[in-house]
Structure 1
């Protein structure tokens, strides 16, 4: 079976540690939930029959929605072809700045917004998705002479989203898992914590310490419901404190996204589970 791959380069993407995530995932589960789906590396690798995926980034989830809809997928790919043809430094900034006029931007058809999101991701500096406090995409151009925005991968993802029971949401992570029950599997891949400062401007609101605490409380609630819960984060003092008593698994991951070269390095991450991965056939 052909499996989809992430169609955008996303900060915190899990392609480099996908084998570790698969090994730590439960062997049998009911509905799969991913409240911070991002590029969807684990989603596509697991290819569950039933899933609820979510991201607070509405432009990202709009792309998923357009990929799922056959007519909009065709229209989106046509727009991507136009972006590839017209690509230049001047053109990049023209497309990037469309969201500065919110009234006009909100009237743009969803498939054109989806094509813009993919084009900017492929053409911007180092695949970095970042918005300012006004929710305006503000990453500079990657200064590429040519960009490739799509391939047959979008068709594979389209088939996956339609041949299975996949629900798309764009809401707060707490609301995204409100229907989770015993036997379901939830994977949290939030913007990471840091002992210093860290980039997390995937949305205009960011993701701070209070959000990390709120997420830990939700993790424990889902544990009490009898769900399988797995979470990725940096191995920081706050994360160690919040998840004390759960199973910690340490991995090294390559981080290739960041405005500064010093941020693109091998880092230690922790994968936290509320179960023993070797014993997940029955909870």
Structure 2
């Protein structure tokens, strides 16, 4: 009775105050990747390729770009903050979808966890924490590359990695919540269908002002746009009170994802 009652008590909590038992879920993931660190670090390579192929290569043809904040910068400096946000997104979303789906449907890892004092909320918080840590790791590595390349133009960039944590939280939480509804690997086509257009059109490679008015509102509604706008403002010294809106959007989206995921895991595994 003691083992089965612990998850029930934790499920009643509305939101985690701290990591608590979730730290064991994070520690388990860190241990699992100890011998596969190359796979862990590979996720930041794609944004670096985009940076040097498009930002530097194509940037030589485009020249300078006027941002939505009014700054005039080189195209590589314009693209770099967006790719940093995309690094956080990639690290979080793929860990919270593909890896979580395998653990949930095939490995049955969470069933084993629930036989311990770990509860549904702990699983949700632990997995989402790991996904945002992975995304922030990619972002930190990318920031170093951008700094070495001379693409960082403001001391506000020291907050770029904490901002990447918000991006990772939003995508990791929503990604894991979505994964709990998936039935087969074919469902991941929908993840690609959502992520790829978001990556290309969330003011990543072009200023928002270049989009038609009919599409601008749609771009503003995407979470990656808020991550891109936040990172770009920090790295290009366009900091203002308007950034709080982006922070609030990402934080609320992440909180809703955590709550929804914990409830879904409880529904799937405890009923």
- Provide TM-score, normalisation by structure 2: 0.24
In terms of fraction of residues, the more helix-rich structure is: 2
- Provide TM-score, normalisation by structure 1: 0.24
In terms of fraction of residues, the more strand-rich structure is: 1
